[in-house]
Amino acid sequence: MTQKSIENYAALKRSVYREYSRSYDEDRDRFVSGQLLRQVADRTQGKGVLVGLDLTPDMLRLARLELGGRVNLVEGNAATGLPFREKSFDVVTSLNLVQELPTDAVTPLFDGVYRILRPGGVFRAVIPCMADKNPAADMFRQMAQARGLMDFRYSDELEKLLISMPGFGEIEIEFRPSTAAANAAKGSVRFSLFSDILADIKNEGLDSGQVRQGVIFFSGRRGTDT
């Protein structure tokens, strides 16, 4: 990515997520589940160091409200590298992030995770994707890309990409259907990017009910250096 395209990408993402941050806590039970850091902070009770990274100041503000000072929250762009020291983490997680990255930034993200994990450390990712391939789903993908720079890959393509990630062993990949698109279609989510897309798909004469999403759960263990 050129410097200009990185700036444009970050500006669009921040404006989408500034909007989403207004209803994120209310919507997330119906849409995404983003409570992981709080649960880890509750469980670890101050043992170890917890760090969270996000591109959007408004989303970091929400996290800060929830987590207080228990987690180091860092503003950064995962598409241009992870601002952490080599081999400094035992566990890295990525929740609902990979679909936000430009296509050519996914393998570099995994390389970055490899770099910051200690040998034997674990990487877990939760990645929203498309469950079924059909014309309505294709249109959903294109509109999400155009309006939010989000790439909801088809689950089989995403699985193929993940299984080949160099440096990770013990890879487990599980697909589960999600109710995200259905909830957006019902209008039960305040953030309107997805409900607007589904309404436009309907206006084009396609069946928005065919837009079904899912989630891929990825788990892999970092190998030793080669």
Ligand X SMILES: C[S@@+](CC[C@H](N)C(=O)[O-])C[C@H]1O[C@@H](n2cnc3c(N)ncnc32)[C@H](O)[C@@H]1O
* Residues that bind ligand X in the complex, under the rule CB under 6 A: 13, 17, 28, 32, 34, 53-56, 59, 77-79, 95-97, 100-101
* Shortest Cβ 56–ligand X spacing (Å): 3
User: Would you say 56 or 208 has its CB closer to ligand X?
Assistant: 56
- Can you tell me whether residue 25 is helix, strand or coil? helix
* Shortest Cβ 109–ligand X spacing (Å): 9
Across the beta sheet with 213-222, the strand order is 89-95, 117-130, 213-222, 168-178
* Shortest Cβ 119–ligand X spacing (Å): 25
* Shortest Cβ 142–ligand X spacing (Å): 19
User: Would you say 126 or 206 has its CB closer to ligand X?
Assistant: 126
For the chain, report the end-to-end CA distance as a whole number of angstroms: 28
User: Would you say 96 or 155 has its CB closer to ligand X?
Assistant: 96
* Shortest Cβ 6–ligand X spacing (Å): 9
| Separation between Cα atoms, residue 128 and residue 177, nearest integer Å | 9
In this chain, which residue has its C-beta nearest to ligand X? 34
User: Would you say 137 or 180 has its CB closer to ligand X?
Assistant: 180
User: Would you say 81 or 223 has its CB closer to ligand X?
Assistant: 81
Asked whether the beta carbons of 144 and 93 are under 8 A apart, the reply is no
Q: What is the DSSP string of 144-161?
A: HHHHH-----BHHHHHHH
Asked whether the beta carbons of 50 and 41 are under 8 A apart, the reply is yes
CA 164 to chain centre: 19
